[in-house]
Chain A
Amino acid sequence: MSHQSTYEPKTGIEKWLDSRLPIVRLGYDSFVDFPTPRNLNYWYTFGGILAVFLVIQILSGVVLAMHYVPHVDHAFDSVERIRRDVNYGWLIQSMHANGASFFFVAVYLHMFRGLYYGSYKAPREVLWIIGVVIYLLMMAAAFMGYVLPWGQMSYWGATVITNLVGALPVVGEGIREWLWGDFAVGNATLNRFFSLHYLIPFLIAGLVILHIWALHVPGNNNPTGVEVKGKGDTLPFHPYYTVKDGFAIVVFLMIFAGFVFYLPSVLGHADNSIEANPLVTPAHIVPEWYFLPFYAILRAVTFDIGPISAKLGGVLAMFGAIGVLFVLPWLDRSPVKSMRYRPIAKWCFLIFVIACLGLGWCGAENPDNLVFEFGGIGMPFVVLSQILTAYYFAYFLVILPVLGFVEKPKERPESIEASVLGSSPAAAPAE
């Protein structure tokens, strides 16, 4: 870690352990006396919330795996059995299914926070990239987890998404059969998805350690985007941020509990209460809500682009929407991190958030339905998705690169301490 260790082992056993495996020192320096900017707001509590949800998902998932049967003839019934007959199965299944949704709520807020305060910029590019990898793994885990109950949406969602691979020229069909282990989504597919669904959370846990390591080398960004300059800019993580994070975690868990107990199935799809049937496609296949914006981008490409078919173009756009995040640190040319001091970028960011929400709306609707309908005349949803998709990519590929050169940033505070206490570090009294 980048700061000087302040841990002093006091008892004999602590000294003995510290000279052999300094694990208590690591914990103390990382989560007790870690210097943290004094101005972090509640948007900075989602990292801790995400850590809690990773633990919730792993613990509840391990329990569910004790009762779940990964076979096409038994999977659906075994999940129903968990919900009806297994002791407290209704509770643990609800925690796991709703936990996935809340995991994504937290990760999206965490990512928007990073985008707004410029947390992806130097020297935190690697921190950001590890975060995007974690997000990709979360999506893989969520997708495969949704297949396991083997309902109609499980089956057809898996069919649609694995068929995307078939859009790749030449190798696409071979890779698709390789993923399926069959000529269609079947028992082989269900088995391997279960295996990988169990594996991925542990990969995520490993990457979270790297993520925290990469966070603790430069230290936290903060709402001003001004780097820590002196001792007056920081507070020890404990008790200041253990308490703040703890409070946010409790509030978030209360909302979570509301869903777990009172609305356990509201975030799911009714069609997933019907067992998978390869001969009948549901009238309207939709993914879970957290994938809807990307589903809308996939469907927004309805035209061929040169040699690229509409189908392949949609797949490329969907993966490109996440891929662009990897290079974001080099696309945004502005030296100013926080959008508090970027008068134009701030509004472009707000529109970006609205565009993401709008894409989610489009993803849930039939593309040919009309939006803003007035007297039978309106715009099909597919056109709205195309407009919003264009803005999504323009934000990263045009707006942020160009604003770096043309935008005149507002004056920034000279330090974090000055921004909080309204005085310069020299004038601040010693604590």
Chain B
Amino acid sequence: MTDHTTEEPTRRDFIYIAAGGAAAIGGALTIWPFIHQMNPAADTLALGSIRKDISSLGVGQEITVMFRGGPVFIRRRTEAEIAEARAVELDRLPDDLARNENLPDNASASDANRVLNPEYLIVKGNCTHLGCVPVGNGAGDYDGWFCPCHGSHYDASARIRRGPAPENLPVPTYIFENDGAVVKLGATSDEVAAAGWSVA
């Protein structure tokens, strides 16, 4: 409506920008609680760790335990399985990272980087494709696990070898207690550091 063409900001410009800015920031601050409420709640996050007695597990046996709402496989491997897992050349693996939460992210997928004690393989039991629980006890073409949903084959170190799954089954943080009779899943970083986890 005015016919003067000054470049100077006016009080009205200031009010306009201030009001817009306040609305934008206020809007974001209002929306955030409504988004963040859907993230895992404090009591869910607190279900951090569990202990499992594995002293009765025989060689070649496997158990599945519930941890953080999902399965974890604990397999006491035979000498033959360990030898087979260790003989695999790393350049034949679709995923060349260890996926071990106890080790740095860039650790290679050698079998030594997947276990604390070679006899016990402990991995989360949800297929990295779409989350089904693979069938174990040497299933599949690589003597490890086979996911029936979409046909992913994992080897004796639970590394992906063939099929649509993109990653190796991840290793949760864990330590052994009572001279190896008990495994504690969901160990703290201090416990992990003290337990002797290291990149091979």
Q: List the interface of chain A (C-beta within 8 A of B).
A: 156, 159-160, 162-164, 177-186, 188, 192, 278-281, 283-285, 299, 302, 309-311, 314, 367-368
Contact residues, B143-165 vs A (CB, 8 A): 147-151, 164-165
CB distance from A354 to the nearest CB of B (A): 25
Report chain A residues within 8 Å CB of B132.
Answer: 156, 159-160, 281, 285
CB distance from B153 to the nearest CB of A (A): 12
CB distance from A195 to the nearest CB of B (A): 11
**Can you add 9 more A-B contacts, CB < 8 Å, to A159-B130, A160-B149, A299-B150?**
A159-B126, A160-B132, A162-B131, A188-B41, A278-B70, A279-B66, A283-B148, A309-B166, A310-B166
Q: Is the CB of B38 within 8 A of A183?
A: no
CB distance from A320 to the nearest CB of B (A): 18
B69 beta carbon closer than 8 Å to chain A? yes
Q: How far is the CA of A392 from the CA of B129 in the complex (A)?
A: 25
Q: How far is the CA of A309 from the CA of B130 in the complex (A)?
A: 13
Question: Across the two chains, which residue of chain B brings its CB closest to A315?
Answer: B130
Q: How far is the CA of A184 from the CA of B133 in the complex (A)?
A: 12
Closest 7 CB pairs of A and B: A184-B69, A163-B131, A183-B68, A281-B132, A163-B130, A160-B130, A281-B133
Q: How far is the CA of A180 from the CA of B39 in the complex (A)?
A: 8
Q: Max chain B CB contacts within 10 Å: which of A164, A182, A281, A309?
A: A281
CB distance from A64 to the nearest CB of B (A): 24
Q: Is the CB of B148 within 8 A of A284?
A: yes
B40 beta carbon closer than 8 Å to chain A? yes
Q: List the interface of chain B (C-beta within 8 A of A).
A: 35, 38-41, 44, 64, 66, 68-71, 125-126, 129-134, 147-151, 164-166
Q: How far is the CA of A164 from the CA of B41 in the complex (A)?
A: 23
Report chain B residues within 8 Å CB of A179.
Answer: 38
Q: Is the CB of B38 within 8 A of A178?
A: yes
Report chain A residues within 8 Å CB of B151.
Answer: 367-368
Q: How far is the CA of A182 from the CA of B68 in the complex (A)?
A: 8
Q: How far is the CA of A180 from the CA of B64 in the complex (A)?
A: 22
Instruction: Take A188-B44, A368-B151 as given contacts and tell me if A311 and B129 are in contact as well, using a CB distance cutoff of 8 Å.
Output: yes
Q: Which of A164, A178, A181, A184 contacts B130 (CB 8 A)?
A: A164
Q: Is the CB of A279 within 8 A of B40?
A: no
Question: Across the two chains, which residue of chain B brings its CB closest to A174?
Answer: B39
Q: How far is the CA of A180 from the CA of B45 in the complex (A)?
A: 13
7 inter-chain pairs at a CB distance below 8 angstroms, sorted by A residue, are A156-B132, A178-B35, A183-B44, A183-B68, A184-B131, A281-B134, A311-B129
Question: Across the two chains, which residue of chain B brings its CB closest to A279?
Answer: B71
Report chain A residues within 8 Å CB of B150.
Answer: 299, 367
Q: Is the CB of A184 within 8 A of B166?
A: no
Report chain A residues within 8 Å CB of B69.
Answer: 182-186, 278
Report chain A residues within 8 Å CB of B70.
Answer: 183-184, 278
Question: Across the two chains, which residue of chain B brings its CB closest to A310?
Answer: B164
Instruction: Take A278-B66, A299-B150, A311-B166 as given contacts and tell me if A182 and B40 are in contact as well, using a CB distance cutoff of 8 Å.
Output: yes
CB distance from B114 to the nearest CB of A (A): 20
Instruction: Take A279-B66, A285-B149 as given contacts and tell me if A160 and B38 are in contact as well, using a CB distance cutoff of 8 Å.
Output: no
Report chain B residues within 8 Å CB of A178.
Answer: 35, 38-39
CB distance from B68 to the nearest CB of A (A): 4
Q: Is the CB of A181 within 8 A of B131?
A: no
Report chain A residues within 8 Å CB of B38.
Answer: 178-179, 181, 192
Question: Across the two chains, which residue of chain B brings its CB closest to A277?
Answer: B133
Question: Across the two chains, which residue of chain B brings its CB closest to A286?
Answer: B149
Q: Is the CB of B164 within 8 A of A160?
A: no
Q: How far is the CA of A310 from the CA of B166 in the complex (A)?
A: 8
Report chain A residues within 8 Å CB of B40.
Answer: 177, 180-183, 188
Instruction: Take A164-B130, A285-B132, A311-B166 as given contacts and tell me if A181 and B149 are in contact as well, using a CB distance cutoff of 8 Å.
Output: no
Question: Across the two chains, which residue of chain A brings its CB closest to B165?
Answer: A311
Report chain A residues within 8 Å CB of B149.
Answer: 160, 281, 284-285
CB distance from B43 to the nearest CB of A (A): 10
Q: How far is the CA of A302 from the CA of B150 in the complex (A)?
A: 10
Report chain A residues within 8 Å CB of B130.
Answer: 159-160, 163-164, 311
Report chain A residues within 8 Å CB of B166.
Answer: 309-311
Report chain A residues within 8 Å CB of B44.
Answer: 181-183, 188
Q: How far is the CA of A353 from the CA of B66 in the complex (A)?
A: 45
Q: How far is the CA of A164 from the CA of B149 in the complex (A)?
A: 14
CB distance from A173 to the nearest CB of B (A): 11
Q: Which of A278, A299, A314 contacts B71 (CB 8 A)?
A: A278
Q: Is the CB of A177 within 8 A of B148?
A: no
Report chain A residues within 8 Å CB of B66.
Answer: 278-279
Report chain B residues within 8 Å CB of A285.
Answer: 132, 149
Q: How far is the CA of A278 from the CA of B69 in the complex (A)?
A: 8
Q: Max chain A CB contacts within 10 Å: which of B41, B44, B150?
A: B150
Question: Across the two chains, which residue of chain B brings its CB closest to A186?
Answer: B69
